[in-house]
Amino acid sequence: MAIGSRWVPGGGVVGWPASRRWLSRAASAYVRLATGMAVGDATAGYRLWRRETLADIGVCALASDGYAFQVETALAAWHANHRLMEVPITFAERRAGHSKLSGAVVAEAVWRVTLWGPRERLRGVAPRRVARRWAHRPPTGRLT
């Protein structure tokens, strides 16, 4: 699984207020702290999956929605020993439409990660590093 990450060297956001940046960074830090999964941008929605990985983790049986779904799928792939990598992207705020971010989406993510944290610690899974592509040489294009 490849995650288009805003919070690794070479990644970033354009057009976000400081509060939105803080929320996103804090969410990823909380996921790392609670679960031990070393992903820099746990709530990122820009992901590339292999069909085999999705079939292996049983994505249709997962219970989460929104940002919690992003975390749950990454955790499932991580536990199944699939390779996770982060690729830096620059996310530009949408020009039309509006964000799907709501209090309910944030609350579900906090609640689920809080429940998953002790489960992860009880499993005794040692944190593994997530591969980073282009960490020293950002891609030349911008994804918008």
pLDDT digits (tens, 9 = 90+) for 39-60: 899 989 899 999 999 999 988 8
Closest CA relative to residue 30, chosen from 43, 46, 21:
43
Token pair, residue 80, equals: 């199944």
Residue 137 confidence (pLDDT):
46
- The whole-angstrom separation of Cα 61 and Cα 57 is 9
What is d(CA 36, CA 29) in angstroms, rounded to the nearest whole number? Answer: 10
In a 10 Å sphere around its CB, with 0-12 CB exposed, 13-18 middle and 19+ buried, how is residue 21 labelled?
middle
Residues 50, 54, 59: CA angle, nearest 5 degrees:
155
Q: Which residues pair with 88 in a beta bridge?
A: 5
The pTM (predicted TM-score) of the whole model is: 0.78
pLDDT digits (tens, 9 = 90+) for 4-21: 999 999 999 999 999 989
